[in-house]
A and B are shown apart, each in its own frame.
Chain A
Protein backbone atom coordinates (compact mmCIF):
# COMPACT_ATOMS: atom_id res chain seq x y z
CA UNK A 1 0.00 0.00 0.00
CA UNK A 2 1.31 3.46 -0.89
CA UNK A 3 0.23 7.10 -0.91
CA UNK A 4 1.47 9.89 -3.16
CA UNK A 5 1.64 13.63 -2.55
CA UNK A 6 -1.82 14.15 -4.02
CA UNK A 7 -3.30 11.73 -1.51
CA UNK A 8 -3.87 8.96 -4.05
CA UNK A 9 -3.64 5.56 -2.37
CA UNK A 10 -2.86 2.28 -4.09
CA UNK A 11 -3.10 -1.22 -2.69
CA UNK A 12 -4.58 -4.63 -3.28
CA UNK A 13 -7.56 -6.64 -2.15
CA UNK A 14 -8.81 -10.19 -2.39
CA UNK A 15 -11.93 -10.58 -4.51
CA UNK A 16 -13.09 -14.18 -4.57
CA UNK A 17 -10.10 -16.20 -5.69
CA UNK A 18 -8.48 -13.23 -7.38
CA UNK A 19 -6.22 -10.52 -6.07
CA UNK A 20 -6.80 -7.11 -7.59
CA UNK A 21 -5.02 -3.82 -7.29
CA UNK A 22 -6.86 -0.60 -6.62
CA UNK A 23 -6.55 3.13 -6.42
CA UNK A 24 -8.46 5.27 -3.94
CA UNK A 25 -8.55 9.06 -4.17
CA UNK A 26 -10.47 9.64 -0.97
CA UNK A 27 -13.79 9.27 -2.73
CA UNK A 28 -13.67 6.59 -5.37
CA UNK A 29 -12.10 3.18 -5.71
CA UNK A 30 -10.88 2.01 -9.12
CA UNK A 31 -9.65 -1.48 -9.96
CA UNK A 32 -6.26 -2.28 -11.45
CA UNK A 33 -6.20 -5.61 -13.19
CA UNK A 34 -3.73 -6.91 -15.74
CA UNK A 35 -5.81 -8.65 -18.43
CA UNK A 36 -5.80 -12.42 -18.17
CA UNK A 37 -4.07 -12.54 -14.78
CA UNK A 38 -5.65 -13.76 -11.56
CA UNK A 39 -3.45 -11.58 -9.39
CA UNK A 40 -2.54 -7.92 -9.70
CA UNK A 41 -0.98 -6.05 -6.80
CA UNK A 42 -0.23 -2.33 -6.70
CA UNK A 43 2.66 -1.44 -4.41
CA UNK A 44 3.76 2.06 -5.36
CA UNK A 45 2.58 5.28 -6.98
CA UNK A 46 4.22 8.58 -7.88
CA UNK A 47 2.68 12.03 -8.23
CA UNK A 48 2.03 11.51 -11.96
CA UNK A 49 -0.11 8.51 -11.08
CA UNK A 50 2.34 5.98 -12.47
CA UNK A 51 1.78 2.75 -10.58
CA UNK A 52 4.14 -0.17 -10.02
CA UNK A 53 3.41 -3.64 -8.74
CA UNK A 54 3.24 -7.25 -9.78
CA UNK A 55 0.91 -9.45 -11.77
CA UNK A 56 0.46 -13.13 -12.44
CA UNK A 57 -1.01 -15.62 -10.01
CA UNK A 58 -0.86 -16.05 -6.26
CA UNK A 59 2.03 -18.46 -6.94
CA UNK A 60 4.16 -16.44 -9.35
CA UNK A 61 4.38 -12.83 -10.43
CA UNK A 62 6.26 -10.47 -12.69
CA UNK A 63 6.77 -6.76 -12.21
CA UNK A 64 4.94 -4.00 -14.03
CA UNK A 65 4.80 -0.26 -14.41
CA UNK A 66 1.45 1.25 -15.35
CA UNK A 67 1.93 4.49 -17.27
CA UNK A 68 -0.80 6.31 -19.17
CA UNK A 69 -3.00 3.22 -19.03
CA UNK A 70 -0.38 0.87 -20.45
CA UNK A 71 1.34 -1.91 -18.57
CA UNK A 72 5.09 -2.23 -19.09
CA UNK A 73 6.82 -5.42 -18.05
CA UNK A 74 9.63 -5.04 -15.53
CA UNK A 75 11.78 -8.16 -15.65
CA UNK A 76 15.31 -8.16 -14.26
CA UNK A 77 17.43 -10.88 -15.84
CA UNK A 78 17.31 -14.23 -14.05
CA UNK A 79 14.82 -16.93 -13.20
CA UNK A 80 12.45 -15.79 -10.47
CA UNK A 81 9.21 -17.00 -8.97
CA UNK A 82 8.18 -13.55 -7.83
CA UNK A 83 9.07 -10.13 -9.21
CA UNK A 84 7.51 -7.07 -7.62
CA UNK A 85 8.09 -3.44 -8.49
CA UNK A 86 7.38 -1.68 -5.21
CA UNK A 87 8.29 1.98 -5.48
CA UNK A 88 8.55 4.69 -8.15
CA UNK A 89 9.69 8.27 -7.71
CA UNK A 90 8.77 11.35 -9.70
CA UNK A 91 11.71 10.83 -12.08
CA UNK A 92 10.38 7.40 -12.98
CA UNK A 93 13.07 5.50 -11.11
CA UNK A 94 11.78 2.18 -9.84
CA UNK A 95 12.83 -0.16 -7.07
CA UNK A 96 11.56 -3.63 -6.27
CA UNK A 97 12.62 -7.13 -5.46
CA UNK A 98 12.83 -10.59 -6.93
CA UNK A 99 12.55 -13.96 -5.27
CA UNK A 100 13.55 -17.43 -6.35
CA UNK A 101 12.75 -19.48 -3.27
CA UNK A 102 15.11 -18.39 -0.52
CA UNK A 103 17.08 -16.08 -2.78
CA UNK A 104 15.51 -12.62 -2.48
CA UNK A 105 17.26 -9.59 -3.95
CA UNK A 106 16.35 -5.97 -4.51
CA UNK A 107 16.62 -4.19 -7.84
CA UNK A 108 16.70 -0.67 -9.28
CA UNK A 109 15.32 0.13 -12.73
CA UNK A 110 15.55 3.25 -14.85
CA UNK A 111 15.33 3.79 -18.60
CA UNK A 112 15.73 0.16 -19.54
CA UNK A 113 18.61 -0.66 -17.22
CA UNK A 114 18.57 -2.73 -14.05
CA UNK A 115 20.94 -2.78 -11.09
CA UNK A 116 20.93 -5.11 -8.11
CA UNK A 117 20.28 -3.87 -4.60
CA UNK A 118 21.84 -6.27 -2.13
CA UNK A 119 22.87 -5.15 1.34
CA UNK A 120 26.45 -6.41 1.80
CA UNK A 121 26.58 -9.64 3.76
CA UNK A 122 22.82 -10.07 3.91
CA UNK A 123 20.96 -13.29 3.20
CA UNK A 124 18.04 -11.44 1.57
CA UNK A 125 17.27 -7.88 0.57
CA UNK A 126 13.99 -6.23 -0.40
CA UNK A 127 13.90 -2.66 -1.75
CA UNK A 128 10.59 -0.87 -1.25
CA UNK A 129 10.69 2.85 -1.97
CA UNK A 130 12.79 5.53 -3.60
CA UNK A 131 12.26 9.24 -3.01
CA UNK A 132 12.98 12.16 -5.31
CA UNK A 133 16.54 12.46 -3.94
CA UNK A 134 17.09 8.89 -5.18
CA UNK A 135 17.32 7.55 -1.64
CA UNK A 136 16.07 3.98 -1.63
CA UNK A 137 14.90 2.14 1.47
CA UNK A 138 13.99 -1.42 2.32
CA UNK A 139 15.04 -4.20 4.62
CA UNK A 140 17.63 -6.96 4.73
CA UNK A 141 18.01 -10.24 6.57
CA UNK A 142 20.96 -11.13 8.71
CA UNK A 143 19.69 -14.09 10.73
CA UNK A 144 18.31 -14.07 13.30
CA UNK A 145 17.48 -10.42 12.68
CA UNK A 146 15.97 -8.19 10.03
CA UNK A 147 17.12 -4.60 9.66
CA UNK A 148 16.01 -1.65 7.62
CA UNK A 149 18.41 -0.05 5.19
CA UNK A 150 18.88 3.15 3.28
CA UNK A 151 20.80 3.36 0.00
CA UNK A 152 22.18 6.56 -1.48
CA UNK A 153 24.78 6.82 -4.24
CA UNK A 154 25.71 3.18 -3.86
CA UNK A 155 26.31 3.42 -0.11
CA UNK A 156 24.23 1.54 2.41
CA UNK A 157 23.23 2.43 5.96
CA UNK A 158 21.34 0.41 8.53
CA UNK A 159 18.17 1.58 10.24
CA UNK A 160 17.23 -0.49 13.29
CA UNK A 161 14.62 0.28 15.92
CA UNK A 162 16.38 0.15 19.28
CA UNK A 163 16.22 -3.30 20.84
CA UNK A 164 14.09 -4.86 18.13
CA UNK A 165 14.86 -8.13 16.36
CA UNK A 166 12.99 -7.05 13.25
CA UNK A 167 12.89 -3.60 11.72
CA UNK A 168 11.25 -3.35 8.30
CA UNK A 169 11.58 0.01 6.55
CA UNK A 170 9.16 0.30 3.64
CA UNK A 171 8.66 4.00 3.02
CA UNK A 172 10.51 7.32 2.78
CA UNK A 173 9.22 10.76 1.82
CA UNK A 174 11.08 13.70 0.35
CA UNK A 175 11.76 15.12 3.81
CA UNK A 176 13.67 11.95 4.61
CA UNK A 177 11.21 10.54 7.14
CA UNK A 178 11.08 6.77 6.99
CA UNK A 179 8.23 4.49 8.01
CA UNK A 180 7.80 0.81 8.64
CA UNK A 181 7.31 -1.69 11.39
CA UNK A 182 9.30 -3.21 14.23
CA UNK A 183 8.79 -6.08 16.62
CA UNK A 184 8.83 -5.82 20.39
CA UNK A 185 10.21 -8.45 22.77
CA UNK A 186 7.01 -10.50 22.29
CA UNK A 187 7.35 -10.29 18.50
CA UNK A 188 4.31 -8.04 18.20
CA UNK A 189 4.52 -5.62 15.26
CA UNK A 190 4.23 -1.88 15.80
CA UNK A 191 4.33 0.85 13.20
CA UNK A 192 6.88 3.65 13.32
CA UNK A 193 7.88 6.89 11.69
CA UNK A 194 11.35 8.35 12.09
CA UNK A 195 12.74 11.82 12.13
CA UNK A 196 14.32 12.80 8.79
CA UNK A 197 17.52 10.96 7.95
CA UNK A 198 20.57 13.21 8.19
CA UNK A 199 24.25 12.70 7.56
CA UNK A 200 23.79 10.13 4.87
CA UNK A 201 26.62 7.68 4.18
Chain B
Protein backbone atom coordinates (compact mmCIF):
# COMPACT_ATOMS: atom_id res chain seq x y z
CA UNK B 1 0.00 0.00 0.00
CA UNK B 2 2.74 2.40 1.04
CA UNK B 3 4.70 1.63 -2.12
CA UNK B 4 1.59 2.24 -4.23
CA UNK B 5 1.07 5.62 -2.59
CA UNK B 6 4.70 6.58 -3.16
CA UNK B 7 4.53 5.49 -6.79
CA UNK B 8 1.31 7.40 -7.34
CA UNK B 9 2.70 10.56 -5.76
CA UNK B 10 5.89 10.28 -7.81
CA UNK B 11 3.93 9.73 -11.01
CA UNK B 12 1.74 12.73 -10.26
CA UNK B 13 4.82 14.85 -9.53
CA UNK B 14 6.55 13.84 -12.74
CA UNK B 15 3.35 14.36 -14.69
CA UNK B 16 3.09 17.81 -13.18
CA UNK B 17 6.65 18.64 -14.15
CA UNK B 18 6.04 17.51 -17.70
CA UNK B 19 2.81 19.47 -17.93
CA UNK B 20 4.48 22.55 -16.48
CA UNK B 21 7.30 22.37 -18.97
CA UNK B 22 4.91 21.68 -21.80
CA UNK B 23 2.98 24.80 -20.88
CA UNK B 24 5.98 26.96 -21.80
CA UNK B 25 6.25 28.42 -25.27
CA UNK B 26 8.29 26.38 -27.73
CA UNK B 27 9.69 28.53 -30.53
CA UNK B 28 11.76 25.79 -32.15
CA UNK B 29 9.44 25.43 -35.14
CA UNK B 30 9.91 29.12 -35.94
CA UNK B 31 13.65 28.71 -36.28
CA UNK B 32 15.88 27.41 -39.03
CA UNK B 33 18.79 25.38 -37.67
CA UNK B 34 22.00 25.29 -39.68
CA UNK B 35 24.44 22.56 -38.68
CA UNK B 36 28.10 23.44 -38.24
CA UNK B 37 30.60 20.59 -38.31
CA UNK B 38 34.32 21.31 -38.28
CA UNK B 39 35.79 19.23 -41.13
CA UNK B 40 37.36 16.05 -39.80
CA UNK B 41 36.25 16.65 -36.22
CA UNK B 42 34.44 14.00 -34.19
CA UNK B 43 32.33 16.58 -32.39
CA UNK B 44 31.70 20.29 -32.85
CA UNK B 45 30.62 22.64 -30.08
CA UNK B 46 29.83 26.31 -30.77
CA UNK B 47 30.33 28.75 -27.90
CA UNK B 48 29.28 32.19 -29.11
CA UNK B 49 28.33 34.42 -32.03
CA UNK B 50 28.80 38.15 -32.49
CA UNK B 51 26.78 40.61 -34.55
CA UNK B 52 28.95 40.02 -37.63
CA UNK B 53 28.13 36.34 -37.45
CA UNK B 54 31.61 35.33 -36.34
CA UNK B 55 31.46 32.23 -34.18
CA UNK B 56 33.85 30.59 -31.74
CA UNK B 57 33.87 27.09 -30.35
A residues with CB within 8 A of B? 1-5, 7, 9, 11, 44, 119-122, 129, 142, 150, 155-162, 170-175, 177-182, 188-195, 197-201
Q: Which residues of chain B are near A1, meaning CB under 8 Å?
A: 47-48, 56-57
When the two chains form the complex, which single residue of B24, B36, B45, B48 contacts A129, counting CB atoms closer than 8 Å?
B48
Interface size class of B (residues with CB under 8 A): 35 or more
State in angstroms the CA–CA spacing of A7 and B53 once bound together.
Answer: 10
B residues with CB within 8 A of A? 16-18, 20-21, 23-28, 30-38, 42-57
A46 to chain B, nearest CB (A): 11
Structural contact, B20 and A120, CB atoms closer than 8 A: yes
When the two chains form the complex, which single residue of B26, B36, B53, B54 contacts A191, counting CB atoms closer than 8 Å?
B36
B43 to chain A, nearest CB (A): 4
Which DSSP category, helix, strand, loop or mixed, fits chain A's interface? strand
Structural contact, A170 and B50, CB atoms closer than 8 A: no
Supply 27 A–B pairs (Cβ within 8 Å), ascending by A: A1-B47, A1-B57, A5-B50, A5-B51, A9-B56, A119-B24, A121-B18, A142-B17, A158-B24, A158-B27, A162-B33, A170-B48, A171-B48, A173-B53, A174-B51, A177-B49, A178-B49, A179-B55, A189-B44, A191-B37, A192-B34, A192-B46, A194-B31, A194-B32, A194-B33, A197-B30, A201-B24
State in angstroms the CA–CA spacing of A119 and B26 once bound together.
Answer: 12
